[in-house]
């Protein structure tokens, strides 16, 4: 099998095989080390924002402020977490936005969401690096983080409190809270999907997926990585 690089992803690592006496397992590079670090920094910042935001959202969760040194400290660090998240996510956006542009395959995939849920992969269209659900998470979080960043600046009284009216700040706070709730819900689904689809988590931990996983879930992308038509006999199905 001829090996090519995934030019769009900037990943120059070749496909490789695990050394084992058992049937060889092909591993396909999916994310570089820099991309994974960027992803995990973003994930950690989002978690910190969620915890500190919930601590201020309702008195029932005020005890979470203890994680950040108390109520005043939580109010002080929360917006800075937001600034850091916006910067980190911006790097992710620059790296991946082209790969997340919707296409006709996504429309067909969405029409067969029932087959997706029941794992009938043979009925689904061949996909590139991301499916419609993953693209939805990407663009949804892009919009929501943008809303939270802008509204967060409006309600950041320490630096911008005098620039807008109280009424504007109230509307901004409402929009900020709604965007945060939706963003948290999307991330919960995102994490669940990563656990539900076996073998997915490996991509963001080790940077590779098995050939079986790539062939089953993102066959078009796998063919691009392999440099030609993928055949069922050429990949290990244990990774699917």
Query: How far apart, in whole angstroms, are the C-alpha atoms of residue 16 and residue 14?
Result: 6
Under 8 Å between Cβ of 197 and 217: yes
Backbone region of residue 101 per phi and psi (left: phi > 0; alpha: psi in -120 to 50; beta: other values): beta
Which of 204, 202, 206 has the alpha carbon at shortest distance from 238?
202
Question: What is the rounded CA–CA span in Å between residue 187 and residue 206?
Answer: 21
Q: Which two tokens stand for residue 29?
A: 């590079």
Residue pair 9/99 in contact by the 8 Å Cβ criterion:
yes
Catalytic status, residue 176: no
Question: Burial of 45 by CB count in 10 Å (0-12 exposed, 13-18 middle, 19+ buried)?
Answer: buried
**Six-digit token pair at 73?**
């400290």
Per annotation, catalytic residue among 16, 17, 176, 190: 190
For the residues of 13-27, what is the DSSP string, one character each? PPPEE---SSSP-EE
Q: What is the CA radius of gyration of the chain?
A: 21
Query: Mind telling me the catalytic residues?
Result: 190
């Amino acid at each position: 099998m001829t090996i090519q690089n995934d030019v769009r992803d900037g990943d120059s690592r070749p496909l490789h095989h695990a050394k084992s006496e058992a049937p060889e397992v092909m591993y396909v590079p999916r994310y570089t080390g820099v991309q994974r670090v960027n992803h995990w920094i973003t994930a950690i910042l989002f978690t910190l924002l969620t915890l500190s935001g919930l601590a201020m959202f309702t008195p029932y969760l005020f005890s979470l402020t203890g994680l950040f040194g108390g109520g005043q400290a939580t109010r002080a660090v929360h917006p800075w977490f937001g600034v850091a998240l916006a910067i980190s996510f911006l790097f992710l956006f620059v790296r991946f936005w082209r790969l997340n542009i919707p296409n006709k395959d996504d429309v067909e995939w969405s029409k067969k969401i029932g087959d997706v849920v029941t794992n009938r992969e043979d009925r689904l269209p061949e996909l590139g690096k991301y499916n419609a659900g993953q693209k939805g998470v990407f663009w949804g979080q892009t919009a929501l983080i943008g809303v939270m960043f802008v509204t967060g600046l409006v309600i950041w009284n320490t630096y911008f409190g005098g620039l807008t009216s109280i009424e504007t700040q109230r509307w901004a706070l409402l929009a900020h809270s709604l965007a945060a709730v939706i963003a948290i819900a999307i991330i919960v689904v995102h994490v669940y999907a990563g656990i539900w689809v076996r073998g997915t988590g490996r991509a963001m931990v080790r940077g590779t997926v098995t050939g079986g996983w790539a062939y089953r879930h993102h066959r078009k992308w796998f063919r691009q990585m392999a440099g030609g038509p993928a055949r069922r006999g050429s990949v290990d199905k244990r990774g699917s």
